C-alpha cells in the first residue's frame, strides 16, 4: 500500500485548460486523461490525500469513483464543501456519496517519513505580502509554525523565503 498526495485537478473546469496552459482541446479530453494518469499510478489499496479543488461542480464528482484507491479530501476553495462556502456542511454528503472516504475541513497534522508536517489546501500566510499578493481566502490560511506544509491551490511552482527545499 502506498500513500499519495495531489490537488487541483479541477475536473469539469473548462477554463482551467486556458488559465493553466493545459494541453487539451476539451474538458472531456482533460477529464479522461486525468483519470487515466491517476489509475496508471494509484492501485486499489493505495491512499490518496486530495488537497483540494477536485472539481467546480457536483456533476464532475462522478469522476471520484473512476479513480483507483481510497480517497481523503481536504477541500479547496473550488470544492463546495470548503468551509468558506455558504451551506458547506450540507455539501459534504455529496462528496462522501461520490467516493471520498474522509473529508477534513481543518488543517491536518501528519508525520511522514519522520517529518512532522501539515496538510491544507491553501499555502501558509506569508510574513510579508509581496506586490500582487492575492488576499482572497487569507482568513482560511494558517500561520507558518515552522513545519512543512503540503498544500494545493497554487498551480505553478511556489518558492517563498524560508520554504524548505
Give dist(CA 157, CA 83) in Å, integer.
26
At residue 156, the pLDDT reads 57
Q: Which residues in the chain land under pLDDT 50?
A: 158-159, 161-165
CB 147: neighbour CB atoms within 10 A?
13
pLDDT recorded at residue 57: 81
Q: pLDDT at position 163, please? A: 47
Pairing of strands 70-73, 108-112: unpaired
- Do 68 and 34 touch, CB atoms closer than 8 A? no
Residues of the domain holding 51: 3-108
pLDDT, residue 15, reads 82
Domain count for the chain, please give it: 1
Does residue 79 lie within any of the structural domains?
yes
49 in any annotated domain = yes
Asked whether 33 and 76 are in contact (CB, 8 A), the reply is no
Q: Does 133 fall in a domain?
A: no
Domain CATH for 44: 3.60.21.10
Cα separation, 144 vs 11, whole angstroms: 30
Residue 59 lies in a domain: yes
pLDDT for the residue 62: 95
**Does 154 map to a domain?**
no
Amino acid at each position: 500500500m502506498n500513500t499519495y498526495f495531489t490537488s487541483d485537478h479541477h475536473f469539469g473546469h473548462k477554463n482551467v485548460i486556458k488559465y493553466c496552459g493545459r494541453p487539451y482541446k476539451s474538458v472531456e479530453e482533460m477529464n479522461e486523461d486525468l483519470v487515466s494518469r491517476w489509475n496508471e499510478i494509484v492501485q486499489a489499496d493505495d491512499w490518496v490525500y486530495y488537497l483540494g479543488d477536485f472539481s467546480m461542480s457536483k456533476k464532475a464528482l462522478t469522476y471520484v469513483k473512476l479513480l483507483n484507491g481510497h480517497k481523503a479530501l481536504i477541500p479547496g476553495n473550488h470544492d463546495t464543501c470548503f468551509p468558506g462556502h455558504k451551506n458547506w456542511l450540507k455539501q459534504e454528503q455529496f462528496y462522501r456519496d461520490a467516493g471520498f472516504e474522509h473529508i477534513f475541513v481543518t488543517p491536518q497534522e501528519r508525520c511522514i517519513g519522520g517529518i512532522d508536517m501539515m496538510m491544507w489546501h491553501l499555502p501558509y500566510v506569508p510574513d510579508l505580502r509581496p506586490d500582487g499578493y492575492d488576499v482572497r481566502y487569507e482568513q482560511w490560511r494558517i500561520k507558518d509554525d515552522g513545519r512543512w506544509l503540503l498544500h494545493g491551490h497554487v498551480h505553478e511552482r511556489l518558492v517563498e523565503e524560508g520554504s524548505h527545499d
